[in-house]
Amino acid sequence: MALAHAAGIALSLLGVPLPWAPLLLSIVVSLFLLWWRPWPTGVLLMALVAGAASGSAHLQALARDCRLHLPPTWEGEVVGRFLTRPLAGATVPFRIESGGPEGCRAVFRAAVARDGTPPLAGARIAGTARWEGRAFPQVGQAEWAGRLRMAVDWTPSPGGGLPGAILALRGGIQERMVELWGVDSAPVVEALVLARREHLDPSLRQAFGLSGTAHLLAISGFHVGVVAALLFGLLRTLGAGRRSAEGGAAAGCWAYVLAIGAPHAAARAAVLLTLLVGARLRGRPVVPIGALGSALLLLLILNPGWLASVGFQLSFAGTGGLVLLRRPMAKGIEWLRCRCTGAPRAARRDRGLAADFLRSGEEGVAAGIAATLPTLPLLAWHFDRISLVGVPATLLLAPLVAAAIPGIAAALFASLVSLPLGRFLAGGSGLLLELVGRVVRESAVLPGASIWISRGALAAACVGGIGAYWILRRAFAGRVRRGFRTGAACGIGVAFVFLLPLLPLSRDLEVHVIDVGQGDAVALRFPHGRWILVDAGPRSAGFDAGERRILPYLRRQGVRRLEGIVLTHPHLDHIGGAPAILAGMTVRGILDPARPHGSRPYLEVLEAIGADGPWWWEATEGRGFTLDGARVEVLHPDRETRDAPLLPDPNDLSIVLLVEWGEARILLTGDAPAEVERRVLDRLGTLTLLKVGHHGSRTSTSSDLLDRTRPAIATIGVGDPNGFGHPHEEVMERLRAAGVTVYRTDRDGDLRIRIRADGSARVEPSR
């Protein structure tokens, strides 16, 4: 029932239309089947229909969210609370309780002024806020529809009821964590205990992901189990009976889960714990898969949108693996040990310290593998990588985290009596957390700690493996053991990963305009599958487009090597992500104006290349090359501009590329101004695609260029919002007057443009 309900929700979330006439007919059929044969057909069909209806209703509710329909700007007095510890200059969640724009009461992203003292987390405050909305907010991401800028002046505001009291308590705990563990270690403590990860060091968060131990930071069954064990032991120590202690532990876990905001992984664990306790109180056995299905069904009824959450999927996949695969894995490990050592199977039942240690080690490895295997396809699909050190790293870190959580709780409670005593106890748990951080960072940089895998390769592996298993089962039924069939199918599936790049999946030229915010990044896929990247997006203190956007996008497309990177000019919004790309992917060469520039980002690119890095090619007028039958030619900079005695404006040096593929023509202009456009007009004809210059600035994309080239499609790489007013209305008016179809990354997201040799093109926006 749970899987049928989830399938119905998935159909709605994937955009499958839900016509009401067939829906009503399905309900009638379901009612008839329930009367005629209640189980299983009617129940499953009813669950499927109910899931589809609830998913459709959820999407409609998301589209009606008030944050998606706010004016671009607004300023006024608001009353609300920061949901986590605010820091000056940082953007954190802020819940408006009254006075919001257009009366909207919801959670917003709020930036605290740098020159003021941030208020306490969870405290109800009143102050002035200015709303800066996005021009194209996305359904399902209403919290990111804009940003509130909070003024320095704010005052406490009484009231709020029980939810406000819980938030205030949680905020007070966060402030006490900073006092006990300091600004550097407090973010890890907040993540482990309160599920708040806004202040976690990005490099440490990435290390948790690369080492396959990110689940240790999520408030999940592991944490709820530790809390339940502590409460159960405490109640038993105080003299409570076993059943009373179990019920009290379950109630205490629910109080803890609700106090931290009920993240779905923790809610799932609390539901499972409640079902376990209820069954024990009734003296009934627990069917694990039934309990897991009940938890899944209940949570999806409460919030169908959780099904789209990566954390929700990983949580239930890992738990399902523990339920279904742990025992077979344990038997397999025992069989392997006995075969390797020659010991009989009965040796597993031996008593003694050594036997118990060996048994617990085997069970830990079996549980780790069982919980990890079902999550690997999901990790590969969502994050394009699979960690190979996740199981051993988890086995090493889990005892440290399990010891740190009681230490954190003891330090917090002790600080209520004596702050010095709390700091003393916090020092012990702080050492454990420091050790956790070091192990995580070292695990993340081990050779082969994680491997990249594209979605296409993952799909090929699944199709190949399932097809091979079906063929072996049908063709060799009764003659081939199940274990051999499974192993052979897995091997064939892995082989498909390596065979996929050899298949001629597409012979078109593809232009991928990657949404990197306010910056440029255009990837060219040539007909035989080779790639070139033109510009590498921006970088700031909290965002690296190369690491966060470009590399994951290229990996999803199955890119293993770049033939070259074209850095059109040394501005941060075009070269900021280049160091991350050079570190994360093989690059054969770099094409750049070759005019030395003293900016720090440009020097960082040079440092990232090093002495043994890729080839460096000077971009000058007339230089070009042919790749897979497509001709790429540099139209600018010319020799006069490049060799000018005074360093020109970097935009004047911007590389202008013309790509010719059959009858198709593509012009990539970087940030070249109108003067540069006029210099190259004589070498241009009708264009299939124009990359609009300088993000739609009025200094580029002149009427002369549009009149000469008459492009069919134009793309603009621009952020939403941006402080430059890009694209300018004058440029948009010129494009409309020329009859050009315009696509923008702020509105349309990533763009995939398939161009055939006959000059026809098809655009596939991600939104």
pLDDT digits (tens, 9 = 90+) for 525-579: 999 889 999 999 999 877 899 998 999 999 888 888 999 999 999 999 999 999 9
Q: What is the pLDDT of residue 383?
A: 81
Q: CA-CA distance, 552 to 280, in Å (whole number)?
A: 47
Q: What is the mean pLDDT of residues 359-373?
A: 78
The pLDDT-based confidence of 117 (bands split at 50, 70, 90) is confident
Q: Residue type for 91, please?
A: T
Q: How many CB atoms lie within 10 A of CB 590?
A: 23
Q: Residue type for 498, please?
A: F
Q: What is the pLDDT of residue 439?
A: 92
What's the count of helices (H) and strands (E) in the chain, helices before strands? 26, 24
Bigger pLDDT: 424 or 542? Answer: 424
Q: Residue 604 — φ and ψ, nearest 5°? A: -65, -35
Bigger pLDDT: 483 or 84? Answer: 84
Residues of the chain with pLDDT > 70: what percent? 92
Rg of the chain, C-alpha, whole Å: 29
Is-contact 265 220, C-beta < 8 A?
Answer: yes
Hey, is 392 helix, strand or coil? helix
C-alpha pair distances (Å), 93 with each of 122, 139, 214: 11, 18, 22
The pLDDT-based confidence of 123 (bands split at 50, 70, 90) is confident
562: region left, alpha or beta (phi > 0 left; psi from -120 to 50 alpha): beta
Q: What is the largest CA-CA distance in the chain?
A: 92
Q: CA-CA distance, 490 to 510, in Å (whole number)?
A: 32
Task: Look at residue 346 and tell me whether its pLDDT is greater than 60.
Answer: no
- Please state which of the ranges 254-263, 413-422, 708-717 shows the lowest mean pLDDT: 254-263
| Residue in the block written with tokens 């290390």 | 207
Bigger pLDDT: 394 or 364? Answer: 394
C-alpha pair distances (Å), 672 with each of 605, 623, 657, 669, 696: 21, 18, 11, 6, 11
Q: CA-CA distance, 341 to 334, in Å (whole number)?
A: 11
Q: Which residues sit opposite 77 in a β-bridge? A: 128
pLDDT digits (tens, 9 = 90+) for 17-70: 666 556 666 666 666 666 666 667 777 888 888 898 899 899 999 999 999 999
The pLDDT-based confidence of 480 (bands split at 50, 70, 90) is low
Q: What is the mean pLDDT of residues 723-727?
A: 89
Instruction: Provide the token pair at 749.
Output: 């997201």
Q: What is the pLDDT of residue 43?
A: 79
| Per-range mean pLDDT, top range of 85-99, 178-192, 302-316, 734-748 | 734-748
Alpha-helical regions (H) of 564-702? 572-575, 578-584, 600-609, 639-642, 674-679
Q: What is the mean pLDDT of residues 314-342?
A: 82
pTM more than 0.95 = no
Residues 86, 91, 97, 101: is their CA dihedral positive or negative?
positive
Instruction: Provide the token pair at 656.
Output: 């202008």
Instruction: Provide the token pair at 462.
Output: 């699944």
Q: What is the pLDDT of residue 524?
A: 96
State the DSSP string of 296-330. Answer: HHHHHHH-GGGGG-HHHHHHHHHHHHHHHHHHHHH
Q: For residue 520, what is the DSSP state?
A: -
Q: For residue 544, what is the DSSP state?
A: B
pLDDT digits (tens, 9 = 90+) for 193-210: 888 888 888 888 888 888
Q: What is the pLDDT of residue 21?
A: 59
Q: What is the rounded average pLDDT for all residues in the chain?
A: 86
pLDDT digits (tens, 9 = 90+) for 367-385: 888 888 888 888 888 888 8
Q: What is the pLDDT of residue 452?
A: 81
Alpha-helical regions (H) of 373-418? 376-383, 390-417
Q: CA-CA distance, 366 to 360, in Å (whole number)?
A: 10
Task: Look at residue 658 and tell me whether its pLDDT is greater than 70.
Answer: yes
- Please state which of the ranges 135-144, 159-168, 271-280, 740-749 shows the lowest mean pLDDT: 159-168
Task: Look at residue 732 and tell me whether its pLDDT is greater than 90.
Answer: yes
Hey, is 538 helix, strand or coil? coil
Q: Which helix (H) or strand (E) holds 656?
A: strand 656-661
Q: Which residues sit opposite 190 in a β-bridge? A: none
The pLDDT-based confidence of 218 (bands split at 50, 70, 90) is confident
- Please state which of the ranges 26-30, 78-82, 390-394, 444-448 shows the lowest mean pLDDT: 26-30
Task: Look at residue 258 and tell me whether its pLDDT is greater than 60.
Answer: yes
Edge-to-edge strands, sheet with 689-691: 624-627, 630-636, 656-661, 664-668, 689-691, 713-716, 741-744
Is-contact 135 73, C-beta < 8 A?
Answer: no
The pLDDT-based confidence of 462 (bands split at 50, 70, 90) is confident
262: burial class by Cβ within 10 Å (0-12, 13-18, 19+)?
A: middle
Q: Which residues contact 624 (CB under 8 A, 6 or more apart)?
A: 631, 632, 633, 634
Q: What is the pLDDT of residue 348?
A: 47
Q: Which residues contact 179 (CB under 8 A, 6 or more apart)?
A: 415, 419, 423
Q: What is the pLDDT of residue 465?
A: 81
